């Protein structure tokens, strides 16, 4: 294997990268003076992957929620489940499914090599039976019902349903009661074979372990398979939302809201530069030190939980701004007015520089945390970026680029999601 060492001189950190013959990308950052290590084994398969190519080269729809369902089932085996195996090495293990990926991970301070072998082993050895699948349908069904009662979750997915007409980002990561009922053991094996190909995966390890030890373990444990690329389906959506307002009543004390601005994409993914520019624009516009935040707080329209987010991925991109408010509609109008003002008069250069320094410092601090670093390395790889790319993109960002990103926030492309107390 050819090993590529990528070093950031300012941080004094190096990432050792290689591509295994199976197609698996490996990224290792050894950390001097650390006593623990964190490993994440990621697959580019998430809740938005609701179609796969069949033998005829055509996209075929699969049930929503299958990536999350498969994540749950992979921890099982005919003998000890993965959690019981990790308990013997002293490692803490977990997994999660997001819109674009599924990740299996552990953190430990002893027997790290043994724990890494367990991680690679159980993810590569699926064990599904119809009986255990049916049991899991009941468990995940309860999970879906639980999330339907969480206001933070519902205000976001209601917004996504208001913004997007067809993109699967509008569907709950766990799917629906109806969709998971269509899942059986044969389907899970078929999806596993399609998506869990090493060429569609990455292993990132950070902390108290040497790169060569990781490479040797991978070479010993990864199964040799045909390198097979996995293609995602991209369907272009217009910038127009499905509806401009959506409201739901739940058991909450105060109204919650999210104001979203949808961006029309010509390509499946935003550039890293665009993503970071958007985050910095939001910080300058409505961060805790902004005039907008002070005004909304002084008028008692928001509390300290008010915030913003650039929410983007394969085929979707939108800005979300929200929190708790006594009057979400009035708050949304004030936010839109402040955006129009900044679009006309320009972003305050001093506010831009403060926001840029804040984000650069945040990225630097990320490398002190082995969990954050490993997940950052995984995310960069899945979006076709080298390690430390976010630092360079942030450092080189100009106020002109930030202004360009601000101009995508169009009132006609916005929607307001509100959760209100039950009357």
Active site (catalytic) residues: 71
| CA 266 – CA 405 distance, rounded (Å) | 15
172-to-66, 99, 169, 213, 383 alpha-carbon distances in Å: 11, 9, 8, 39, 22
Tell which residue, 221, 216, 27, has the closest CA to residue 124. 221
Q: How far, in Å, CA of 301 to CA of 319, rounded?
A: 20
Tokens of 29: 């950052």
Residues with Cβ within 8 Å of 238's Cβ and at least 6 positions away in sequence, in order, are: 264
User: What is residue 414's three-state secondary structure?
Assistant: strand
* Pair 177, 59: CB distance under 8 Å: no
Cα atoms in the 13 Å half-sphere on the side-chain side of 262: 27
| C-alpha atoms less than 13 angstroms from C-alpha of 126 in its C-beta half-sphere | 22
Tokens at 59, concatenated: 């996209």
Q: Which residues, 6+ apart, have CB-to-CB distance to 411 below 8 Å?
A: 336, 339, 340
CA distance readout (Å), 226 to 197, 199, 265, 397: 8, 9, 33, 41
CB 85 within 8 A of CB 77: no
Contact present, 154 and 163 (Cβ < 8 Å)? no
> Could you tell me if 254 and 302 are in contact, meaning their C-beta atoms sit under 8 angstroms apart?
no
Q: Within 91-129, where are the H helices?
A: 112-124
């Amino acid at each position: 294997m050819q090993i590529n060492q990528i070093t950031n001189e300012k941080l004094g950190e190096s990432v050792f990268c290689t591509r295994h013959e199976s197609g698996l990308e490996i990224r290792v950052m050894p950390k001097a003076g650390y006593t623990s290590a964190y490993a994440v084994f990621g697959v580019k398969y998430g809740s938005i992957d609701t179609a796969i190519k069949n033998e005829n080269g055509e996209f075929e729809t699969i049930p929503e929620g299958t990536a999350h369902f498969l994540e749950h089932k992979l921890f099982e085996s005919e003998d000890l489940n993965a959690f019981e195996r990790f308990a013997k090495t002293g490692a803490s293990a977990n997994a999660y499914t997001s819109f674009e990926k599924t990740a299996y991970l552990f953190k430990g301070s002893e027997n790290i090599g043994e724990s890494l072998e367990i991680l690679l082993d159980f993810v590569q050895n699926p064990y599904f039976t119809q009986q255990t699948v049916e049991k899991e349908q009941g468990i995940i069904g309860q999970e879906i019902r639980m999330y339907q009662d969480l206001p933070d979750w519902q205000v976001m997915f209601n917004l996504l349903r208001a913004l997007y007409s067809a993109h699967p980002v509008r569907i709950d990561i766990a799917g629906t009661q109806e969709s998971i009922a269509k899942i059986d053991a044969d389907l899970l094996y078929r999806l596993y074979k399609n998506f869990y190909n090493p060429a569609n995966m990455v292993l990132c390890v950070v902390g108290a372990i040497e790169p060569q030890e990781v490479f040797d373990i991978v070479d010993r444990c990864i199964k040799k398979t045909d390198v097979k690329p996995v293609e995602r389906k991209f369907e272009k959506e217009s910038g127009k939302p499905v509806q401009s307002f959506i409201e739901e009543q739940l058991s909450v004390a105060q109204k919650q809201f999210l104001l979203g601005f949808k961006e029309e994409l010509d390509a499946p993914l935003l550039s890293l530069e665009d993503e970071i520019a958007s985050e910095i624009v939001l910080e300058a516009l409505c961060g805790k030190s902004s005039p907008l935040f002070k005004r909304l707080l002084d008028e008692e329209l928001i509390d300290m939980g008010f915030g913003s987010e650039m929410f983007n991925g394969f085929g979707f991109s939108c800005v979300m701004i929200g929190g708790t408010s006594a009057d979400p509609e009035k708050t949304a109008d004030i936010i839109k007015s402040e955006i129009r003002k900044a679009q006309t008069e320009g972003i305050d250069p001093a506010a831009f520089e403060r926001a840029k320094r804040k984000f650069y410092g945040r990225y630097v601090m990320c490398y002190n945390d082995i969990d954050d670093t490993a997940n950052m390395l995984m995310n960069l790889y899945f979006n076709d970026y080298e390690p430390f790319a976010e630092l360079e993109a942030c450092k080189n960002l100009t106020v002109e680029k930030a202004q360009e990103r601000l101009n995508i926030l169009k009132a006609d492309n916005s929607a307001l999601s509100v959760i209100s107390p039950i009357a």
